[in-house]
Structure 1
Amino acid sequence: MDAESLPAPLKSAVEGFERYLHGERARSAHTVRAYLADVHSLLGFAVQEGIRDLDQLELGSLRRWLGAQSEAGMARSTLARRAATARAFTKWALREELIATDPAIRLQAPKRVKSLPGVLQQQQVLRVVDSLDAAAADGGPLALRDRAMVELLYATGVRVGELAGLDIDDMDQDRRTLRVIGKGNKERTVPFGVPAALAIDDWLRRGRPALVTATSGPALFLGVRGNRVDPRQVRAVVAVLLQALGDTAATGPHTLRHSAATHLLDGGADLRAVQEILGHSSLATTQIYTHVSVDRLRKSYQQAHPRA
């Protein structure tokens, strides 16, 4: 059920929640869309049960909503996310006095199964970079842009949305640092190395001027029409490069973020330094990369040691 089909009180609540997410919580457009999709799913299910006002929502309806999705084969990670969204929505509704009690306070969902992120080996990263260098040798603006974007993704571990949002002034090329606006509008400074600096300089001198238009503004990376590059374009570029490797199932720009974090830790970087570079609010989130490194160490040991 779409938003327009909801009863007026429920539709009004969704609109208020959306304003809250954009305003007070400063969530990204992508995150807001995900939250609203979950809320629409919940309220659509509630309407089918005869609910027309938010104050009629009960714990039983929330549990049946999750149960129906579980029976339909929805992944446990998605169920956990939807339960979290429901709790955030009803907590907000209680604060706004749209409901008298919070029905989701005891709502639980299957625990997420933590999986290790896809990580490239360092030799695989070098092969990706070599292919980008070969393409950029012809000097085409998009080839120069793609090389600079991938070098920066791997050098800094920034998220694809953070990369797309970069402006030229966010870079300090002398110090080789990047000012990044992350989740929750939190700002952090991230260093990058010489290869990324050279690729970006090449893009700024020979690539960007060929694409820039009157509407480009200060955007660091541009699309073919001169507008700020879209995150979907970045994902498509990386997906093609990883597919061309032929020996990895990893896909998407997050693979480069995972790889950057793992290779930093493999090289002896401090865990809290990696946390700061990645912009993780919790050290526990960063610690998953230590598991990746230990797993790789264990495999190497088992392959090499005669009495493993």
Structure 2
Amino acid sequence: MDDNVAEFLAFLKEDRHLSNNTIMSYQRDLWQTMDYLQDHGISQWQQVDQYMLIEVLNEFRQQNKANSTINRIISSLRQFYKYMIRHHYLTVNPMEMIDHQYTFNQPATPVILTEKEIEQLLQVPDVSTPLGIRDRALLEVMDATGMRVSEIIALDIADLHLDVKLLQITGKNNQERIIPLSQPAVEWIETYLKNSRPQLIKNKQETTVFVNAHGCPLTRQGIWKKMKEWVTEAKIKKEVTPQTMRYSFAVHLIENGADIQLIQEILGYNAMKAIQPYLKVSPQQLSANYMKYHPRA
């Protein structure tokens, strides 16, 4: 990835004769994007699709970057991808599928689903079918763990410790994490593994937990598309992505009194900045915590 960016920057200098300041802006934008992608297990530009780029832009938005900054990043990515196509490094340009003004439609704070809306989503899959059982198990895992899409699609049978309600995964920066599971998540995973997955897999050696209708591992694109279908069927009038489930997971834990450090441990990185507007403590919570923890209260 670094080599492609370096070659593109050299092209801007030697062929386009752009100023050093302009080239530095391109470099900064592309390095920020590349850092995010590499942190999420992406090592080649060929692996990047429009869904991953939308995740990147959403992440920058949650960092409170100005719209002008994000639109500049979009412009830099557009020019970079045109270069990659023109020089035959790629055959598909994912930036063509993203509206240039996309970020102006994104809220300053992340969309959060209510507990009722989560329940609406969970009821959408038709659990009389193998794929419906898979979808219900997948949604239960997303709701119970706050896992990234990249972690969910990489989930292996060996990572499941259902007898003790735990998942053991390797996440960002190859860090191993232990994640608790809810009882409903355990039950639906067990149902999926027993009754659904055996009907879907074609290769008995396949160890990925969540597979598609052809028995191959689910992809990031597959989960994004399914999420749109679930949200539409649940009649939820919000812009929901898989990342929405992750933020909702954190906010629901906070609202129910969970320790922020615990949430950071489960999520695997400091996601608190994105949900900062939801961290305000109510007077009732403040009083209750004071009475609970002050030694002379």
Counterparts of 1:253-292 in structure 2, within 5 Å, are 253-280=242-269, 282=270, 285-292=271-278
Q: Deviations over 1:206-232 (max 9, x none)?
A: 110001122652111111111111111
Q: Specify the structure having the higher radius of gyration (Cα).
A: 1
Deviation at 1:42, TM superposition (A): 4.0
Counterparts of 1:13-162 in structure 2, within 5 Å, are 17=2, 42-50=9-17, 58-59=20-21, 61-63=23-25, 75-77=68-70, 79=72, 115-132=108-125, 135-136=126-127, 138=128, 140-162=129-151
Alignment match, 1:104: none
Q: CA separation in 2, counterparts of 1:278 and 1:156? A: 8
Alignment match, 1:230: 219
Q: CA separation in 1, counterparts of 2:218 and 2:182? A: 23
Unaligned runs of 5+ in 1: 1-13, 19-35, 52-56, 68-72, 84-112, 299-308
Q: Deviations over 1:67-92 (max 9, x none)?
A: 9xxxxx98523646999xxxxxxxxx
Out of 154, 172, 176, which is 2:161 matched to?
Answer: 172
Task: Go from structure 1 to structure 2 and tell me whether the alpha carbon gap of 1:289 and 1:43 turns closer, same or farther (over 3 Å shift).
Answer: same
- How many pairs align? 218
Alignment match, 1:184: 173
The letter of the residue matching 2:157 is I
Q: CA separation in 2, counterparts of 1:44 and 1:152? A: 45
Unaligned runs of 5+ in 2: 30-65, 77-105, 284-297
Structure 2 residue matching 1:294: 3-state secondary structure: coil
Q: TM-score, normalised by structure 2?
A: 0.64
Deviation at 1:64, TM superposition (A): 8.0
The letter of the residue matching 2:234 is L
Task: Go from structure 1 to structure 2 and tell me whether the alpha carbon gap of 1:205 and 1:215 turns closer, same or farther (over 3 Å shift).
Answer: closer
Q: CA separation in 2, counterparts of 1:60 and 1:128? A: 46
Task: Go from structure 1 to structure 2 and tell me whether the alpha carbon gap of 1:256 and 1:66 turns closer, same or farther (over 3 Å shift).
Answer: closer
Deviation at 1:39, TM superposition (A): 5.6
Deviation at 1:289, TM superposition (A): 2.5
Deviation at 1:244, TM superposition (A): 2.7
Deviation at 1:48, TM superposition (A): 3.4
Deviation at 1:190, TM superposition (A): 0.5
Q: CA separation in 2, counterparts of 1:147 and 1:130? A: 8
Q: CA separation in 2, counterparts of 1:190 and 1:169? A: 14
Greater shift after overlay, 219-228 or 202-211?
Answer: 219-228
Deviation at 1:176, TM superposition (A): 0.6
Q: CA separation in 2, counterparts of 1:66 and 1:219? A: 36
Structure 2 residue matching 1:240: 3-state secondary structure: helix
Structure 2 residue matching 1:131: 3-state secondary structure: coil
Q: CA separation in 2, counterparts of 1:129 and 1:58? A: 52
Q: Deviations over 1:7-32 (max 9, x none)?
A: xxxxxxx6xx35xxxxxxxxxxxxxx
Q: Is the 8 A contact 2:169 2:176 kept in 1?
A: yes
Q: CA separation in 2, counterparts of 1:180 and 1:66? A: 32
Task: Go from structure 1 to structure 2 and tell me whether the alpha carbon gap of 1:156 and 1:40 turns closer, same or farther (over 3 Å shift).
Answer: farther
Q: Is the 8 A contact 1:265 1:290 kept in 2?
A: no
Task: Go from structure 1 to structure 2 and tell me whether the alpha carbon gap of 1:228 and 1:216 turns closer, same or farther (over 3 Å shift).
Answer: farther
Q: Is the 8 A contact 2:227 2:240 kept in 1?
A: yes
Alignment match, 1:3: none
Greater RCO structure (CA 8 Å; 6+ sep): 2
Q: TM-score, normalised by structure 1?
A: 0.62
Q: CA separation in 2, counterparts of 1:186 and 1:196? A: 23
Structure 2 residue matching 1:207: 3-state secondary structure: helix
Deviation at 1:162, TM superposition (A): 0.3
Q: CA separation in 2, counterparts of 1:187 and 1:118? A: 28
Whether 1:198 aligns to 2:191 is: no
Deviation at 1:204, TM superposition (A): 0.2
Deviation at 1:163, TM superposition (A): 0.1
Task: Go from structure 1 to structure 2 and tell me whether the alpha carbon gap of 1:117 and 1:43 turns closer, same or farther (over 3 Å shift).
Answer: farther
Deviation at 1:152, TM superposition (A): 0.1
Q: Could you tell me the percent identity over the aligned residues?
A: 24
Q: Is the 8 A contact 1:221 1:228 kept in 2?
A: yes
Task: Go from structure 1 to structure 2 and tell me whether the alpha carbon gap of 1:74 and 1:189 turns closer, same or farther (over 3 Å shift).
Answer: same
Q: CA separation in 2, counterparts of 1:50 and 1:226? A: 51
